[in-house]
Structure 1
Amino acid sequence: MTPSPLTRRHVLLGGLGLASAATLSACAGTAESTTRTFGTPSPASPSPGQRTVTKNLTARPVTLDLGGRQVSTWAYGDTLPGPVVRAEAGDFLRVTLDNQLPDETTIHWHGLRLRNAADGVPGLTQDPIATGQKYVYEFTAPDPGTYFYHPHVGVQLDRGLYAPMIIDDPRERGDYDEEWVLVLDDWIDGTGTTPDDVLKKLIGDGGASSSGGMGGMDHGSMSRMDHGSMGGGGAGAAPWGDAGDVQYPMFLINGKAPSDPDVLSAKPGQKIRLRLINAASDTIFTVALGGHQMSVTHTDGYAVQPEEVDALYIGMGERYDAVVTLADGVFPLVARPFGKTTGGQGLALVRTGSGTAPDPGVTPVELHGDVLVGSELTPTDAARLPQKDPDVTLDLRLQGSMSPYRWGINGGPFGDNDALEVAEGQRLRLNAVNQTMMTHPLHLHGHTFALPSGLRKDTVLMAPMQSLAIDLDADNVGSWMIHCHNIYHAEAGMMIALEYTS
């Protein structure tokens, strides 16, 4: 295998101004000093008769009111989440980003199987967009589903830079009356600290060792939480081990704090399609709608056999669609953070009639009922990959520790590990194993993968010490990222490149 041709410094910290030169040097390790450079990508052109959807976005500093608390942060426009980008499967999208931030940035279209030049990873697919510059992303959105977009520079996602992206299926008959998009987030920016400060404290002086070797780690040195303190039942009984590193002061649903929740109004008996997106950086949520069951219909854009559940776990970067039939009254929709001892929970209100709003700390009984682990869903036949033996099998070992705060894949942090290689047309099997005591949401760019059950996803929660064989078809030539979608783990090195060979 060949070393990844871009530096860890460029991708992890590209333009971030994250830390002192000493800390940056420690983070950079011994990676090669050469980086790719990119000109303006040749514009992709829509095919004759292909519909074109255009959108203009501006990333800029803003002040937001989160339940009476004023926070200075960054956002797309002046809303949280940012503007929805919506199109139909097969549409050609032309999205212009105007960067008015005091830093470089990009947009990554999370979950989309799009052309490599539009994937938004600085140093791998494009140069970062400088302050005051505009950049045009052009691509076809081939697959329907629930997606979102966010930067792929530093820890910018843990500010306010995220928004839904919905790709509709024009052939789908919607057996529901309304649709609600629900974006979950953990929030710390502008509350006396910033995500950059959080990462610096986690890394510490020399916390990210310059050594590329990850073998022989004392995984037992990683911090463990007292799961008993979280209460019994579904909300505290998941196999997620130590699930996060950051204690957040608040959790949001659709950019709203529990003290001023988003109110979703409908009529009793209506069927509602919920599109759930976890845009958080460090938090797995348990989601429940008080007084209701949910019928889960999709995960990461792919249809599943409908599954009736009381609640579901949703990891960072995951998306789920579910249908609920609403009762009469006022009901809490909660996003309970797993493993967090501060900050309460995310809350929205569903109102179909008269009634008193519940307390922000309400605990619906559904949290202690049948809680879905999404990887246990059953795919529809149409969502399965064709049966085929793998042409090549590679290992994907997730490694790291909390002290020192150092994460990596296959023996080293990104830039010190070797890129995975595949040839176009091959069926690739990745034997993934989580060799740590923390849960990691494993995310693949530009492709989807199949679990052993056939379930199709692009992001999957890997519990401590879990092994999982995932298959993908190498049908999208380019240089792609595989990484943990805990943003702090990724920025501390838990990424690896997937390179197509000639």
Structure 2
Amino acid sequence: MPHRSPSPAAGSALPEPALSRRTLLGSVAALALGSTAAAAQAPARSGSPMKPAPEVKSESKPEAPARPLSAGPGTTRLKPEPAVVTPVWSFDGTTVPPVVRVRLGETVRLRVENKTDKPLSLHWHGVRNQNPMDGVGSLTQAPIPPGGDFTYAFAPPDAGSFLIRPLVIGGSSEPSGRGLSGMLVVEETAPPAVDHDLTVLMQDWRLSDDGTLLPFGQTAFAASSGRLGNLVTVNGKPAPDAVPVRPGSRVRLRLANACNARGTRIRFDNLKVYVAAVDGQPTDTFEPLRATLPFPPGTRYDLMLDMPAEVGAAGSITALVGNGLALATLTTGGEPVTGKRGAIGPIGENKLLPAEVKLQNALRRDVVLTGGARIDKDKPAAEPVYTGDAAKVWAVNGAAGTAGVAPLFTVKRGQVVVLALRNDTAFPQALHLHGHSFRLLHPLDDGWEPYWLDTFQLLEGRTARIAFKADNPGRWVIGSTVLERFDTGLWGWFEVT
């Protein structure tokens, strides 16, 4: 089957974060960790207290201690003086988002200490994780209370690029909007030879003129585009990020969107890039159509490119926001890379994913998204209006996602599932499937698109079907990656038994 470029995502207007029709319709530190044994905490059951499961002891060698990762308040300068420094939350006292790196087969073992004043849990976005480690506060674990801690210990089954995002039922947007995010990089056992392996993490911030953060919890934003920021950072610094690379070098770029709500498209200017992985999963290498890619919140790309041999050559990664916003500029300098190398090719397949998903006997379910503000078609210039319950703005199959909500469905382990996702809201919806990777199916038949995903965008008024093998036991969310929407009901869950 020939490759198809990802479906387009609508852009967002960065200069105007206020609630407007244009804004609404436009939205859509490395830690080296050794191999250790995993510990687990039992997932919650509706209406029952959460009890930790017995810790699993390694028979081969003693457990290494968990590395601490402390989330707490701090400050950073996001606007030039005379604006004040911005009060933020960060990990380990640095506003550079952490990049946790392990080799495939090693265990991530981190003791997350919550020094903020709100409950916290961390979702390892894209990892086909053990369910107790998935990090959905009040579903797969009890949220970490202020002053408390929780040890995440898991061995990622797949190599790839993944996000670290706060995810607590009813309380995800604020820790994310205050700056808590990061990346998890799981390196292949035989990674492709490159001269630079770089992470590019995009966040945005909703700031007042004096540099402080604007208030959280506004229903008008939750019911529409979410908390769109008015300043973009890359790797914790205001964009663009200047990235020095060697002349003639081969570069691996790991791009990730950790914004609260902002979706955009990204364009590659004077850079000939090849997509090697989408959402952490390798694909046959392809060039992006028109040198652009959709970039909704939660999306990740692994890109490969060769830089020119001359000193001073430059190329940019640009977000198609307004007239264009450069996120990062790569410029050659220093000692050139010499010697011949082969053409850029695939980074290798993930043999843990099925070669095909047989759909004949699939469990098929409809998932319908409703709610949010409504737009008066007779008054196209009018602002969208929402007048309902501020805690239950959105619904999935008629029920708002809240602690204790019933599952959308239950499925036996190993069963193939096909979901028909219908967006009956007035806005594009960025959606994420936990614990699994899926294939988008073609609109008119059961053929599938040529790469695995865990995050995608569904335009308003559209239906898309996804297929996956439910091979990971536990309770798994499918929900919005726009965190204000997640906090106000735009999620559901299913159980694999």
Shorter-chain TM-score tier = 0.7 to 0.9
TM-score, length basis structure 1 = 0.73
Deviation at 1:179, TM superposition (A): 1.0
1:262 counterpart = 2:241 = yes
Counterpart of 1:108 (choices 123, 129, 139) is: 123
Residue 292 (structure 1) aligned with residue 290 (structure 2): no
Give per-residue Cα distances to partners, 1:351-372, cap 9 Å, x unaligned. Answer: 2149xxxxxxxxxxxxxxxxxx
Counterpart of 1:158 in structure 2 is 177
Q: Is the 8 A contact 2:368 2:396 kept in 1?
A: yes
Is the helix fraction higher in 1 or 2? 1
Describe the superposition over 1:146-190 as per-residue Cα deviations: whole angstroms up to 9, x where unpaired: 002121121122221001100011033x14221110001121267
Q: Is 2:141 the partner of 1:126?
A: yes
- CA-CA distance at 1:49 after TM superposition: 7.1
- Of 339, 345, 350, the residue aligned with 2:330 is 350
Residues 388-438 of structure 1: per-residue CA shift (max 9 Å, x gap): 224311111122232317222112311466532212221111111222232
Task: Provide the residue aligned with 1:363 in structure 2.
Answer: none
SS in 2 for 1:131: coil
| Equivalent position amino acid for 1:56 in 2 | P
Structure 2 counterpart of 1:280: 259
Distance in 2 (alpha carbons) for counterparts of 1:195 and 1:449? 37
Q: How does 1:351-370 map to 2 (within 5 A)?
A: 351-353=331-333
Whole-Å separation in 2 of the counterparts to 1:352 and 1:188: 33
- Measure, in 1, the Cα distance between the counterparts of 2:58 and 2:219: 44
Matched, 1:170 2:140: no
Q: TM-score, normalised by structure 2?
A: 0.74
Counterpart in the other structure of 1:388? 358
State which drifts further: 295-304 or 35-44. Answer: 35-44
Which structure 2 residues correspond to residues 46-195 of structure 1 after superposition, within 5 A? Answer: 46=58, 48=60, 54-68=66-80, 70-153=85-168, 154=171, 155=173, 156-172=175-191, 174-188=192-206, 194=213
1:449 aligns with 2:420: no
| Preserved contact between residue 131 and residue 474 of structure 2 (Cα < 8 Å) | yes
Give distance in 1, aligned partners of 2:277 and 2:412. Answer: 30
**Is 1:38 aligned to 2:9, yes or no?**
no
Q: Counterpart in 2 of 1:467?
A: 463
Letter in 2 for 1:181: T
Spell out, residue by residue over 1:91-121, the C-alpha distance to the aligned partner (whole angstroms, 9 max, x if none).
2222101111111111111111111111111
Structure 2 unaligned segments of length 5 or more: list them: 1-44, 335-345, 374-384, 442-447
- For residues 474 and 399 of structure 1, the distance between their equivalents in structure 2, rounded to whole angstroms, comes to 25
Q: Does structure 2 retain, via aligned residues, the 8 Å contact 1:73–1:189?
A: no
Following superposition, the deviation at residue 43 of structure 1 comes to: 2.5
AA in 2 matched with 1:157: S
Residues 1:432 and 2:450 aligned together? no
Corresponding position of 2:342 = none
Task: Return the match for 1:317 from 298, 306, 324.
Answer: 298
Distance 1:388 1:49 in 2: 41
Q: Which amino acid aligns with 1:179?
A: D
Distance in 2 separating the partners of 1:50 and 1:469: 46
Give yes or no for the alignment of 1:492 onto 2:462. no
Secondary structure of 1:490's counterpart equals: helix
Alpha-carbon contact 1:289-1:331 (below 8 Å) kept: no
Matches of 2:356 and 2:61, distance apart in 1: 30
Taking structure 1 as reference, are residues 440 and 45 closer, same or farther at Cα in structure 2, changes over 3 Å only? Answer: farther
Q: CA 1:110 to 1:294, structure 2 compared with 1: closer, same or farther past 3 Å?
A: same
Q: Distance in 1 between matches of 2:182 and 2:274?
A: 24
* SS of corresponding position for 2:218: helix
| Shift in CA distance, 46/485, structure 1 to aligned 2, threshold 3 Å | farther
Counterparts of 2:164 and 2:485, CA distance in 1: 19
Asked if the contact 2:357–2:468 (Cα under 8 Å) also holds between the matched residues in 1, the reply is: no
Q: Distance in 2 between matches of 1:200 and 1:170?
A: 46
Identity across aligned pairs (percent)?
26
Q: 1:245 and 1:99 mapped to 2: Cα distance?
A: 25
| CA distance in structure 1 between the partners assigned to 2:207 and 2:64 by the alignment | 36
SS in 2 for 1:157: helix
Q: Would you say the 8 A contact 2:72–2:115 is kept in 1?
A: yes
CA contact (8 A) 1:409 1:417 kept: no
Paired AA for residue 499 in structure 1: E
Q: Mind listing any 5+ residue stretches in structure 1 that lack a counterpart?
A: 1-32, 208-221, 223-243, 355-376
CA distance, structure 1, for counterparts of residue 299 and residue 355 of structure 2: 20
What's 1:367 paired with?
none
**Segment of structure 1 superposing worse, 140-149 or 418-427:** 418-427
Q: Given the superposition, is the C-alpha separation of residues 293 and 104 from structure 1 closer, same or farther in structure 2, using an over 3 Å criterion?
A: same
Q: Report what 1:336 is aligned to.
A: 319
Question: Match of 2:176, SS?
Answer: helix
SS across alignment from 1:457: coil
Separation of aligned partners in 2, 1:274 and 1:292:
12
Aligned length: 402
Contact 2:57 2:63 in 1 (8 A): no
C-alpha spacing 1:195/1:148, structure 2 compared with 1 (3 Å): farther
Distance of aligned partners of 1:410 and 1:47 in 2 relative to their CA distance in 1, 3 Å threshold: farther
Matched with 2:231 is 250
Matched position secondary structure for 2:484: helix
Distance of aligned partners of 1:280 and 1:48 in 2 relative to their CA distance in 1, 3 Å threshold = same
- The change in CA–CA distance for 1:429 and 1:91 in structure 2 (over 3 A counts) is same
Give, as a single letter, the amino acid of the residue that structure 2 aligns with 1:388. Answer: K
How far, CA to CA, are the matches of 1:47 and 1:444 in structure 2? 34
Query: Residues 205 and 229 of structure 2 are in contact (CA less than 8 Å); yes or no, is this contact kept in structure 1?
Result: yes
CA distance in structure 2 between the partners assigned to 1:125 and 1:247 by the alignment = 28
The alpha-carbon distance between structure 1 residues 96 and 381, as it changes in their structure 2 partners (threshold 3 A), is closer
Q: Distance in 2 between matches of 1:170 and 1:89?
A: 6
Change (3 A) 1:48 1:394: farther
